[in-house]
Amino acid sequence: MKVDMKSTDLSWISKIQVNQPAVLRRAEQIQARRTVKKEWQAAWLLKAVTFIDLTTLSGDDTPSNIQRLCYKAKYPIREDLLKALNMHDKDITTAAVCVYPARVCDAVKALKAAGCSIPVASVATGFPAGQTHLKTRLEEIRLAVEDGATEIDVVINRSLVLTGQWEALYDEIRQFRKACGEAHLKTILATGELGSLTNVYKASMIAMMAGSDFIKTSTGKETVNATFPVAIVMLRAIRDFFWKTGNKVGFKPAGGIRSAKDSLAWLSLVKEELGDEWLKPELFRIGASTLLSDIERQVSNLYLWSKLTGVFEKGIEKPN
């Protein structure tokens, strides 16, 4: 059940200010330290796999590309490696696959053929710019849902943020929410184009008030995508919203997250800012297309290291 925080007006939004120097200091602290001890890294990396929205958003996507993507989503880590780690019976898959609206049917068909229930997410609302007519954006959501998407990643009209039209932004996202029906709404803020951390916080609050199930950093197409300063602001907006309403909203960083080391840093950040209860696919996702390959490579390297040290003789350490 969503709690509507909207009052008779949103004038209070204009009074919000983010302490940018404090946010930047916090981001530097996080990036300067090692996030996870080596003997725990394999477990944490396998956990990271379960948060990935495995994504392809290319102009040359074809049904065969989507089929390969869905196969990788179901089998993200080599079976022999999972058996060696005694993790072969844990049903490790990615959290979802994410595609363009025109490819939703292909993804649904491929996953059904593979006999798995991984959700299909679709970008929508004129992705990535969000500059098409509202009627067209709403229809795109409805068509994606009709084709079988159970998660919709919408993009906001950034001009509404840059010109301070908070009521209009709220109303648009409410219409997105309605068009989604039962599908989960993930709202992409495109933070690299919002101008300031204060605007990021304001847009985060508006998106949550309007009914978003997740707030997402970026489309992955901007010049600047997911960064720690932006994430800290969004995570604290999520925390503030939870304290005020009792509603938990999810967080999805996306864009530029390519290495296993990156994924560990993002898990650690969410754990520190929001706690363990947010470390589940219902409340945390990572949007990525190439991350999975590096995670598999690093897990393999960690297994070889364990053979020399005996660390995993009784199975890998559980995330702590």
Neighbours of 236 (CB within 10 A): 17
Alpha carbon 266 to chain centroid, angstroms: 11
Clarify whether 216 is annotated catalytic.
yes
CB 96 within 8 A of CB 54: yes
| CB-based contact 107:70 (threshold 8 Å) | yes
Helices (H), 75-157: 79-84, 104-113, 134-146
Burial of 243 (0-12, 13-18, 19+ CB in 10 A): exposed
To the query of whether residue 252 is one of the catalytic residues in this protein, the response is yes
Place of tokens 């919203």: 241
Catalytic residue among 252, 261, 280, 307: 252
38, 257 Cβ separation under 8 angstroms? no
Among 74, 202, 216, 271, the active-site one is 216
Count of C-beta atoms within a 10 Å radius of residue 161 = 24
Catalytic residues: 216, 252
